[in-house]
């Protein structure tokens, strides 16, 4: 009995430590990656409005509306704002950017020419180590893939932010369940191993007490009764939402609630598709895909799910670059009108 209590305690400790890491570290990293993908998928006008609002509310800066040069820059990636001193805000919109010291030096020169005392470089990409050193030297603040989502998340539209947070939470819940099964397995193995050791220790004195010259091999302990819950594999029942959708998926122009159910069904299917990490609806007609496999592998699988619903067949699909690659963001459609 004592050995099983120790095994249960071991399983609980392992599960607790793993769950803490999944929710406090892994979930934040997952949310950050999906948040960056959502920001990168926005049009420049929408992204620049979010940046303007963040600079205004977080740093109490306002745009130089009377400055003719700044008026020309409103559609540019660089613009001036002013608080107690003048700031140059430089945006590199996209996840493919890898910025080094040369880009920082170029921004520092532009900062001097515009008379700005402070500068902020904003990108969904990454500033390399030499770029960070140059930014510190020139007094330029960097918001890149490591901290940009946390800075801009409060100013992102509510539906996009909730979608990103929801994906990260569901992923953490799924991984927590897997961790529970793994911790239980480790605990059971530890308990069985401890029981086996006890049986072997008890068998040795009994063998010596017989006084025989030859030591007969110990009879192995009787195996424990198999636990049906651990050996049986449940047969998955057909998904209820698939059955419900089968009667509705021919609606060409559904109402808003029905369209939302279609989109949720597609996102759920894509989350379990090999090579696809997640599918987030940025707008009613834009689906953002995070993937681990190449286009040729995942594209037919994506279209298979999307084309089930006539209302979604012309969806604009944004294929984000695979993690660790320099691939550009691609936009495609499974079907056209």
Note the pLDDT tens digit of each residue in 200-257: 655 555 544 554 444 444 444 444 444 333 333 344 444 444 544 444 445 778 888 8
Phi then psi for residue 151, to 5 deg, are -75, -35
Percent share of the chain, pLDDT over 70: 79
Strand order through the sheet with 118-123: 62-63, 78-82, 86-92, 118-123, 140-143
Neighbouring-strand partners of residue 129: none
Fold of 240-332: Transcription Regulator spoIIAA (3.30.750)
Go through the chain and tell me how many residues it has: 337
pTM of the model: 0.55
Neighbouring-strand partners of residue 330: 319
Where is 113: in which H helix or E strand? helix 101-114
> In whole angstroms, what is the distance from residue 337 CA to residue 333 CA?
10
Q: What share of the chain is helix, strand, coil (3-state, %, to 5)?
A: 55, 15, 30
Neighbouring-strand partners of residue 89: 79, 120
Q: Which residue has the tokens 């670059």?
A: 321
The pLDDT of residue 325:
84
């Amino acid at each position: 009995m004592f050995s099983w209590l120790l095994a249960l305690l071991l399983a609980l400790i392992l599960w607790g430590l793993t769950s803490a890491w999944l929710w406090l570290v892994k979930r934040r990293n997952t949310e950050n990656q999906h948040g960056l993908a959502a920001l990168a998928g926005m049009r420049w006008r929408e992204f620049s409005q979010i940046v303007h609002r963040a600079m205004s509310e977080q740093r109490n800066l306002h745009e130089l509306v009377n400055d003719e040069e700044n008026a020309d820059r409103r559609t540019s990636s660089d613009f001036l704002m002013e608080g107690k001193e003048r700031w140059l805000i430089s945006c590199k919109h996209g996840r493919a950017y890898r910025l080094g010291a040369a880009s920082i030096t170029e921004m520092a020169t532009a900062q001097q020419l515009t008379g700005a005392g402070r500068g902020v470089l904003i990108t969904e990409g990454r500033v390399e180590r030499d770029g960070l050193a140059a930014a510190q030297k020139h007094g330029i603040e960097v918001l890149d893939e490591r901290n940009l989502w946390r800075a801009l998340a409060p100013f992102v539209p509510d539906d996009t932010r909730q979608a990103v947070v929801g994906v990260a939470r569901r992923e953490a819940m799924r991984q927590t369940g897997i961790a529970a099964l793994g911790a239980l397995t480790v605990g059971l193995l530890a308990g069985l191993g401890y029981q086996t050791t006890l049986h072997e220790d008890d068998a040795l004195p009994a063998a010596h007490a017989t006084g025989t010259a030859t030591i007969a091999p110990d009879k192995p302990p009787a195996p424990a009764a198999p636990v049906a819950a651990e050996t049986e594999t449940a047969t998955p029942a057909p998904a209820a939402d698939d059955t419900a959708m089968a009667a509705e998926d021919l609606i060409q122009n559904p109402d808003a609630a029905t369209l939302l159910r279609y989109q949720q069904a597609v996102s759920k299917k894509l989350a379990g598709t090999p090579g696809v990490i997640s599918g987030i609806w940025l707008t009613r007609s834009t689906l953002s895909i995070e993937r681990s496999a190449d286009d040729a592998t995942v594209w037919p699988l994506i279209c298979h799910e999307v084309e089930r619903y006539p209302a979604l067949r012309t969806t604009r699909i944004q294929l984000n670059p695979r993690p660790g690659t320099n691939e550009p963001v691609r936009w495609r459609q499974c079907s056209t009108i």
